[in-house]
Amino acid sequence: MVSKLVSRRDIEFLLYEWMDTTELIRRARFAEHSRETFDASLDTAERIATELFAPHNRKADLNEPSFDGTRVHIIPEVKTALKAFSAAGFNASAKDHALGGMQLPTVVEQACLTYFLAANAGTTGYPFLSIANSNLLVAHGSPAQIDTFARPVIDGRFSGTMCLSEPQAGSSLGDIRTRASPDGASPWGPRYRLFGGKMWISGGDHELYDNIIHLVLARTPDAPPGSKGISLFIVPKVLINANGSPGERNDVALAGINHKMGYRGTVNTLLNFGEGRFTPEGRAGAIGYLVGDPHKGLSYMFHMMNEARIGVGLGATALAYTAYLHALEYARSRPQGRRIGARNPATPQVNIIEHPDVRRMLLAQKACAEGALALNLYCSRLVDDKTTASLPEDRARATLLLEILTPICKSWPSQWAQESISHAIQIHGGYGYTRDYPVEQFYRDNRLNPIHEGTHGIQAIDLLGRKVVMDQGAALLALHDRISDTIGRARASSLPLEDSADVLENTLNRIVSTTARLHDAGDEERKLGNATLYLEAFGHLVLAWIWLDQALTTEGKVGDFYEGKRQACHYFYRFELPGVGPRLDLLDRLDQTTLDMQDTWF
């Protein structure tokens, strides 16, 4: 049976034909692996996702977590699926052997995760955050903190969260008010008592694991104002004794559950720290342990946030991909109407895939889903190159490319997956708008992704305001060189790609000139006022490059799969990339329409 989660053939094309992932096994970190171990991991991920995650996706959506004032109730299938996920080693798949991990390349780990995100985004939300949580602690925690708090998360016994936003602050982290008062020493470093509230905390309270390790941003008494005064703390739901045994309940209280339009299977919470509902050691205050140095918490948290941003893009991609495969199956099996020009009502109806407009929508979905997956896995490969490439210059180049592509990797799939899933609903017709088919849930689930881990607008400001000019434009130059290499190879190819190469080169040059024009304007508001248009134009440039590079990999290869890749590339250049021009025209004019609009005119 062909999977409706994600195409295994496409994953294999991306891993082994496009990126040559087996090359990684020549590096010391991955020397114990082979194509066989990569494939075995993919097989296991597909099996568990299909058998244990996908079957309760609808049930979890219809029976979202509830709170009775004491406990959070979640359907039992979620815990069963998560146990299988942990038992198969997916919490630790990319971790060091010393931490119980398999040392899989990140690109293979993320390919495996795609199956789970496509099968059940809500249930996958718990290990998704836990993996990132443990990665942060491994990178920035002390050995004692890693042993006590990260290892159980890696083993799948504990889960983890990230606690940033507050009801009054949202994405403006410099305005957080949660405070941390010194409370002596501990085996895990300086101890504090935390007081405050955190909003939008996914996985914030449940009984799916033995404990929950919260990573909390807060201010110490001597903290300078703004984002430079934020520290990071480990705050377990249940305190841990020095010998590793569970202690008393920490002063972390669930104040309520947020009920979202999608991702309903992931409990989303408002947490109060230090309100006195629980009194560890006889008094109020949530006990937490400082991670790293004081006032550097935001820089540590960005380790988790940047990882989560790539993951959010992958989650959007997975939803777009499964929606595409559902729509494709429906279009192939749904008879309705006749071919254009067939006027005899006695002739048999044709399946709707025969109608040109349905094929247009399916091709748009294919271009989005397969292009986004290629982008996500490419960025995951950059993570591997950043840490394991043999030459320092290769590691530096991968770091620059990852910096500039992270806003794209997060935002492009999140935005355009919504349009792609909308096509899936449209192909299903009236059925697509009902709960009889899953595409309406995919649409609701994905709508969170443009908000998750930094909104679309925040990513746009990050890209235009910082990433393209960092280190005198080094990241933009690295990407320019990478795209130019593809353009050169396309011009030398035996495939008819020269026109696409010319269009891509012109678009690249326009992006560079528009970037210079915006930064030369000398007006921050005018420069960043239309940053979202810049992000969209830049994102389409990147995806056009990704598609041309994929098309080049099909050179000399025959068969329906490769023909489909080439046709999707042609579609993107003819239907999607032309939309970049008008966006750049507006940016070049430094248009002030939105800036000039007054509050009272609305």
315 and 416 Cβ atoms separated by less than 8 Å: no
Instruction: For the chain, report the end-to-end CA distance as a whole number of angstroms.
Output: 54
- Specify the amino acid at residue 217: L
Amino acid at site 476 = L
Are the C-beta atoms of residues 72 and 254 closer than 8 Å to each other? yes
Catalytic residues: 453
- Give me the DSSP letters along 445-483: HHTTTTTTTS-HHHHHHHIIIIITTHHHHHHHHHHHHHH
SS3 271: strand
User: What DSSP character marks residue 102?
Assistant: -
Residues pairing with 271 in the sheet = 198, 254
Nearest to 22 by CA among 374, 548, 485, 384: 384
| Cross-strand pairs, 351 | 335
CB 70 within 8 A of CB 271: no
Q: What is the largest CA-CA distance in the chain?
A: 86
Query: What is 526-565 written as a DSSP string?
Result: HHHTTHHHHHHHHHHHHHHHHHHHHHHHTTT--SHHHHHH
- Sequence-separated (6 or more) residues with CB below 8 Å from residue 391: none
Query: For the packed helices 498-520 and 470-492, what is the interaxial angle rounded to 10 degrees?
Result: 170
